Amino acid sequence: MVLSSLFNTLYCDFPCPHCQEKIVTGIGFRVGSLIKARYKIGDTLNWQQEPRRPEKRPNNGNIITLGHFNCDNPKCTSWQDCYPDIQTVKITVEKDRIIDVSIYTDALSEGQFAILTEITK
Ligand SMILES: [Zn+2]
């Protein structure tokens, strides 16, 4: 099993920051049980099955992580040489619920699918 190939997908009406088209293919992210689950905003993150990332569910089920998507619109300015640039969003999970997704432009230092914080409050 190749752990890095495992991820979940968040489907929402998130617009591409470049062309404003809705992202149809979803946003990939890697927290909770990595079981190729399909989520939407407001859903409860599954921690029941292995493998998990992180290995233990954080206290109170609060976590902020980075997710990634490609724009689906081939006419979008994020497409270069027939390939779309990978875009990054910040996904906020509070009490195990996915409550927010927002564009994240400062991702150069963190790396893909980074976990930004495990909120302890
Ligand atoms: Zn776009």
Read off the pLDDT band of 4 (50, 70, 90): low
User: Domain locations in the chain?
Assistant: 3-117
Distance, CA 61 to ligand 1 centroid (Å)? 32
Residue whose entry in the numeric block shows the structure tokens 């293919």: 25
Distance, CA 14 to ligand 1 centroid (Å)? 11
Q: For residue 107, what pLDDT is reported?
A: 56
Distance, CA 73 to ligand 1 centroid (Å)? 6
Q: For residue 84, what pLDDT is reported?
A: 75
Q: For residue 1, what pLDDT is reported?
A: 43
Which residues have beta carbons under 5 A from ligand 1 (an ion)? 16, 18-19, 71, 73, 76
Q: Whole-number mean pLDDT of the chain?
A: 88
Backbone angles phi, psi at 4, to 5 degrees: -70, -15
Q: In this prediction, what percent of the chain has a pLDDT beyond 70?
A: 90
Distance, CA 28 to ligand 1 centroid (Å)? 16
Q: For residue 19, what pLDDT is reported?
A: 94
Distance, CA 57 to ligand 1 centroid (Å)? 34
Question: Once rounded to an integer, what is the mean pLDDT over residues 85-96?
Answer: 93
Q: For residue 57, what pLDDT is reported?
A: 95
Distance, CA 50 to ligand 1 centroid (Å)? 34
Note the pLDDT tens digit of each residue in 15-57. 999 999 999 989 999 999 999 999 999 999 999 999 999 999 9
pLDDT at 120 over 70: no
pLDDT at 101 over 50: yes
